[in-house]
């Protein structure tokens, strides 16, 4: 009988998916469910046939520089893979896969939730009521910003950006403008009901809400900094469910304190799980702990997508979601 491949999960997965994995693999899991250290990840590469990291695991060239690693596949639990040095993985002969498609809708839903929460004072209203700070309805209590009919600017127009555009346009009657290095054609844009901006500055200057939906690359890291925040409309709202490193968080805090921006809704941060104290102190910021894909359905679907990549790889076939 052929021995089962040994798989190491860097974090705990949904129980249902772990049970299914157990049927076909020798599964080791991170029982402490804390981010693994560089040393622990190197040990995983030496001992496991497949290693399943998440966004919390920084597999840089130093970590991947393990002589003759046993690991032959990094089956990432997540769609983003900027935490993995793909060139270093290739040099070590390690295949890398991700989990596209399955988290699109839930992440788009959360972007809309952040937009509504930040605009309408949902979190501050909840906190005040629970603290007993409510003397009844009055015309000037927690005035927010209307969402329906406003202009939404989407920076990045991949799967999630398109899903947000559909929700905002069809559900809230918003005018949707997009900027992407690979923009849709004029015909496609008309079909999707969006307007294409020639540049980022144009989008920032013409949007009431700006929502980020692009990966972190050398070109996009810090793309929303002091100059870009200054170009946004006074009273605009910034939403980020993509990656924290896209935004200069300290510049964002200054723009919020000066009241140039009305509010912000953030699900991601540059140095997770660290969140700048200055953002925590601003009441008009809604902060979530990276919940974009956090529904039972999506997290299970992500795990099953990882398993499909593992199954195909260990069967000697090309994994469907290979990125390196």
Q: In DSSP terms, which residues pair with 7 in a beta bridge?
A: 27, 50
Q: Active-site residue numbers?
A: 243, 272, 290
Distance CA 272, CA 1 (A): 44
Distance CA 130, CA 262 (A): 24
Distance CA 30, CA 20 (A): 17
Torsion angle, alpha carbons of 67, 72, 78, 84, to 10:
30
């Amino acid at each position: 009988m052929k021995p089962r491949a040994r798989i190491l999960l860097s974090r705990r997965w949904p129980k249902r998916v772990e049970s299914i994995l157990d049927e076909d693999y020798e599964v080791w899991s991170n029982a402490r469910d804390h981010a693994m250290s560089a040393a622990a990840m190197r040990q995983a590469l030496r001992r496991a046939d497949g290693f399943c990291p998440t966004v919390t695991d920084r597999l840089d060239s130093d970590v991947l520089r393990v002589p003759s690693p046993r690991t032959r596949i990094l089956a990432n639990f997540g769609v983003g893979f900027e935490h993995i040095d793909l060139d270093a993985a290739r040099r070590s002969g390690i295949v890398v896969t991700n989990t596209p498609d399955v988290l699109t809708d839930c992440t788009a839903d959360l972007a809309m939730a952040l937009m509504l929460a930040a605009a309408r004072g949902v979190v501050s209203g909840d906190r005040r009521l629970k603290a007993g700070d409510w003397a009844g309805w009055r015309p000037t209590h927690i005035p927010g910003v209307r969402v329906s009919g406003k202009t939404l600017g989407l920076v990045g127009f991949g799967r999630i950006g398109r899903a947000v555009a559909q929700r905002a346009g069809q559900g809230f009657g918003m005018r949707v403008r997009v900027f992407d290095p690979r923009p849709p054609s004029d015909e496609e844009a008309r079909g999707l009901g969006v307007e294409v901006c020639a540049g980022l500055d144009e989008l920032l200057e013409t949007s009431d809400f700006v929502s980020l939906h692009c990966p972190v690359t050398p070109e996009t890291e810090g793309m929303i900094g002091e100059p870009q925040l200054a170009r946004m409309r006074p009273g605009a709202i910034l939403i980020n469910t993509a990656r924290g490193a896209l935004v200069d968080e300290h510049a964002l805090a200054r723009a919020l304190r000066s009241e140039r921006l009305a509010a912000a809704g953030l699900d991601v941060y540059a140095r997770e799980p660290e969140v700048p104290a200055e953002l925590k102190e601003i009441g008009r910021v809604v902060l979530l702990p990276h919940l974009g894909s956090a529904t039972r359905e999506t997290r299970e679907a992500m795990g099953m997508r990882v398993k499909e990549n593992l199954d195909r790889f260990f069967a000697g076939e090309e994994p469907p979601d290979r990125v390196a």
